[in-house]
A and B are shown apart, each in its own frame.
Chain A
Amino acid sequence: MSETPLDVVSISGVVKRFGDFTAIHDASLTVRRGEVHAIVGENGAGKSTLMNILYGLLPRDAGTIELFGRPVTFSGPAEAIAAGVGMVHQHFKLAPSFTVADNIILGSEPLAGYGRIDRARAERDTAAISRRFGLDLDPRAVVGALPVGLRQRVEILKTLYREAQILILDEPTAVLTPQETRELFATMRTLAESGHSIVFITHKLREVLAVSNRISVMRQGRIVATLDNEGVTAQEIAGLMVGRSVLLRVKKAKAEARDEVLLKVDGLEARGERGEAAVDGLSFAVRSGEIVGLAGVQGNGQDELVECIAGLRRPVAGSVEICGTKAVADPRRNRAAGLAYVPADRGGVGLSLASGIWENLTVGHIEEFGRGPFLAIKAARARAAELIRRFDVRGATLDKPAGSLSGGNQQKVQIARELTRDARLVIAEQPSQGVDIGAIESIHRTLVEMRDAGRAVFVVSADLDEIFSLSDRILVIYRGRIVADLVASETDPETVGRYMGGLEEAPPAAAASVSEAADHVH
């Protein structure tokens, strides 16, 4: 093996656009043989998009990609796999009712004539590579019955079985316990030592420093720096990730929190989609005239918590009170009690993308326009037109489908509809996700106005910048519990980041999880 590091991947000048939105600007990156290369960046920085381009899931609009010195253009994952690139997605791509061996051989099955699968060989091979890389797995186990950490091993083995030389791991630790994370890191080191190259997408700086050889930092679709992991501190990386330019601070007066509690959550417990305890005995209150921000790494129970408040999920235990009324698992009743809710999932929950904008603005206000059994459509449309003007929804006409608007303008439609309701409690979930800077400002200003008008505002965001720019008080959620309740003006992102990462396991100096960076939009 030569001493000079060999570039196995070299990406240069790659550009990716989605409509008018440029997700990747002129990104260049090299990955060496036998290194763990971390790519860090904030939510929406473009990490996953860039790696999906490398893996052939997305076409690029410009730039070149070279693999082992040869230029390549993949039209699909199959070609990337054949060229030696493997990817482990954050959401596993496994068939749960099949065995480990079946999942691993899928797509390149060993045959025994007449199109038969050579199951004995499949199981032998599976056992062999799992031993070789120290990944202990029973080839005959059914994947659906395995814990998350082992399922991830199946994903890694899938790529190794296809003799991948380059492994892309997308947020691999997001779903792992600390113990599983340690085992994963050991595996990553083993693989790197055996000559594999690993691209490790993450936002957890402590992990980056612990496991990687080199670190590339992405911000707003650009690679702003590539550093050797020697003498670099978490603070430096965090600075590169955030960049002073994007810091948004809305001008706001000091909060005049009153004593009236508009949201009271008491001992709430709720289960997640897989039946796990997602919200685990959680209590807090939000008062009128204050903005409370909920910070946390995605997947720590925020979604389930908000769904319980909104009435979209039935809690297992505990209670929620909205403006003094006990909340139930029925959005209609909770809204009547005084809830306005701007959900993160615009297309799935917060809007009907195929319906006209006036219809989207009228849902939730139907009773206002009720004339007996009839609906005063003229009045509803007039109000919708007024809202479009007032909230400056660009490119909107009353009958245009909401799906034709850009993300920022869709968000304005949601906000216009929700905040014009006579509701004293406002919940805004990821209010600036996928929204351009200009729109963020106006959205934030609207939320502050709501606070000044004496409403209680509860902001759930994966973006620490947003949390700090808006909140008077910051709550941190970790594994379904509130682990910190801080006054915004008396704390700093680093402290909050430590709580977000789970204080107990994080040595205070090194840990700074600047923001949750799952680029995924639900």
Chain B
Amino acid sequence: MDADLAFSAIRISTPLIFAAMGGLLTYQAGMLNIALDGFMIVAAFAAIAIAYATGSLTIAVAGGVACAVVMAGLLALFNLRFRAHIFIAGVAVTFLAYGLTALLLRGILGEEGVFSSNTIPNFPPIAIPFIKDIPVLGRVLSGHTLLVYVAYLCVPVVAWSLYRTRWGLRVRVVGEAEDAALAAGIRVERIKVQTMLLSGVFCGLAGAYLSLGYVSLFANKMTNERGLIALAAIFFAKGRPYPTALVALLFGTATALSVRLPQMTGAAPQLLQLIPYVVTVLALIVVGLRNARGRNRHGAWKFDVT
């Protein structure tokens, strides 16, 4: 693998890492959040619109994150307060977000399908001292933009929060044994809302990165199922932060390859893009087989409704 490919793999994986960290928090709190794409697209749109209007990347990213958090709040409201099934509400929020951003794209920015402008500022690449001088590694690791580094730094922060702090312990207990948390006087609903809103924050960063981080451009449905791939990484790594990030990086690499490989060999990009989904289904089957063996041991009939 050459250095350019590794460089672009790291770049392409950035929104996946953000989204995976967001989805992982709700996963740990016992909620399968399938609206990651919806949160992201809203942030991507808000970020580019704000950047276009204000010329400030800081305000743009903050605005994008804020809008994603609002979407997360909407999902939390319907799931936790109004008892909507999280998958149905999640699908609804996602498609609502796709529709809303497309509507606003035309309504506010007056463009159809795609928007870009050369007045929008770019994130400058950051050269890391010392590392940039290391032969191959320097070309891979140095020269990314700020959000890329933020994404990778989020992984240890998330891991630390989940496994070292009081809040993390509570999140994990809520996800594993809600009744134990309730009996210990923990406000379960509040923890769930917090993880959902944080999920919005991370997806907001992912979305802002998508529209501003590399090329300043917004397109309808531009998240391109990245939320789903992030979710696949979470399933695969069972929600543990470092393995999840690693799997997201691998899935990102597959995507990077799917862009590069066809140019060189004429192979179909779709086959590489299939990898995350197929691998996840296989992983689910393996886990299912293991659980089924345990169930057969006590021989009870189980067909629980989700």
Contacts and interface: CB of A to CB of B under 8 A. Distances in A.
Interface string B169-187: 1101100110111111110
Contacts of A316: 299
B177 A271 contact: no
Nearest to A315: B299
Interface stretch (A6-14, A104-112, A339-347, A363-371): A104-112
Nearest to A271: B298
Given A114-B165, A116-B164, A117-B165, A106 B180 contact: yes
B70 to A, nearest CB: 26
A273 B300 CA distance: 8
A315 B173 CA distance: 34
Given A115-B165, A116-B165, A329-B299, A77 B173 contact: no
A313 B299 contact: yes
A103 B164 CA distance: 14
Interface string B151-193: 0000000000000111101101100110111111110000000
B166 to A, nearest CB: 4
A81 interface: yes
B167 A107 contact: no
A210 B177 CA distance: 35
Given A115-B166, A117-B166, A97 B301 contact: no
Nearest to A97: B176
A131 interface: no
Contact of B300 (A103, A111, A312): A312
B301 A329 contact: yes
Nearest to B184: A107
A216 to B, nearest CB: 24
Interface in A256-293: 270-275
Interface stretch (A33-41, A87-95, A172-180, A222-230): A87-95
A339 to B, nearest CB: 16
A95 B299 contact: no
B297 interface: yes
A115 B173 contact: no
B185 A76 contact: yes
A314 B177 CA distance: 28
A414 to B, nearest CB: 19
A109 B185 CA distance: 12
A406 B65 CA distance: 50
B298 A272 contact: yes
A329 B298 CA distance: 12
Contacts of A274: 298
A307 B165 contact: no
Contacts of B177: 93-96
Nearest to B301: A312
Given A93-B183, A97-B176, A106 B170 contact: yes
A102 B184 CA distance: 12
Nearest to A93: B183
Contacts of B166: 109, 111, 115-117
Given A106-B181, A107-B186, A273 B165 contact: no
Contacts of A96: 176-177
Interface residues of B, number: 25
A101 B186 CA distance: 17
A158 B184 contact: yes
Given A93-B180, A94-B180, A96-B176, A107 B300 contact: no
Given A89-B183, A117-B164, A98 B173 contact: yes
Nearest to B166: A109
A307 B300 CA distance: 8
Contacts of B296: 314
Question: A interface, by DSSP: helix, strand, loop or mixed?
Answer: loop
A96 B180 CA distance: 10
A314 B299 contact: yes
A78 interface: yes
Interface string B216-259: 00000000000000000000000000000000000000000000
A102 B163 CA distance: 11
Interface string A146-164: 0000000000001000000
B186 A275 contact: no
Contacts of B298: 271-275, 313
A78 B190 CA distance: 14
Contacts of A78: 185
Nearest to A122: B169
Nearest to B297: A275
A117 B183 CA distance: 20
A95 B173 CA distance: 6
A159 to B, nearest CB: 10
Interface string A19-45: 000000000000000000000000000
B190 to A, nearest CB: 12
B173 to A, nearest CB: 5
B69 to A, nearest CB: 21
A117 B169 CA distance: 9
Interface in B273-303: 294, 296-301
Contacts of B173: 95, 98, 102, 106
B135 to A, nearest CB: 38
Interface in A67-86: 76-78, 81-82
Contacts of A77: 182-183, 185
Contacts of B185: 76-78, 81-82, 107
Interface string A281-322: 000000000000000000000000001000011111000000
Contacts of A117: 164-166, 169
A216 B258 CA distance: 74
Nearest to A106: B184
Contacts of A106: 169-170, 173, 180-181, 184, 186
Contacts of B297: 271, 275
A115 B160 CA distance: 11
A313 B165 contact: no
A53 B71 CA distance: 39
B260 to A, nearest CB: 41
A102 B169 contact: yes
A94 B300 CA distance: 23
B158 to A, nearest CB: 14
B304 to A, nearest CB: 11
In this complex, the member of A94, A108, A313 whose beta carbon has the largest number of chain B beta carbons within 10 angstroms is A94
A31 to B, nearest CB: 21
A307 B296 CA distance: 15
A335 B301 CA distance: 16
Contacts of A108: 184
7 contacts: A78-B185, A87-B183, A95-B177, A95-B181, A106-B184, A108-B184, A111-B166
Interface of A: 76-78, 81-82, 87, 89, 93-98, 102-103, 106-109, 111, 114-117, 158, 270-275, 307, 312-316, 329
Interface of B: 164-167, 169-170, 172-173, 176-177, 179-186, 294, 296-301
Given A115-B167, A272-B298, 20 more contacts: A77-B182, A77-B185, A81-B184, A81-B185, A93-B182, A93-B183, A95-B180, A96-B177, A98-B176, A106-B170, A106-B180, A106-B186, A107-B184, A108-B184, A116-B164, A116-B166, A158-B184, A271-B299, A312-B300, A313-B301
Nearest 4 CB-CB pairings of A with B: A78-B185, A107-B184, A314-B299, A93-B183
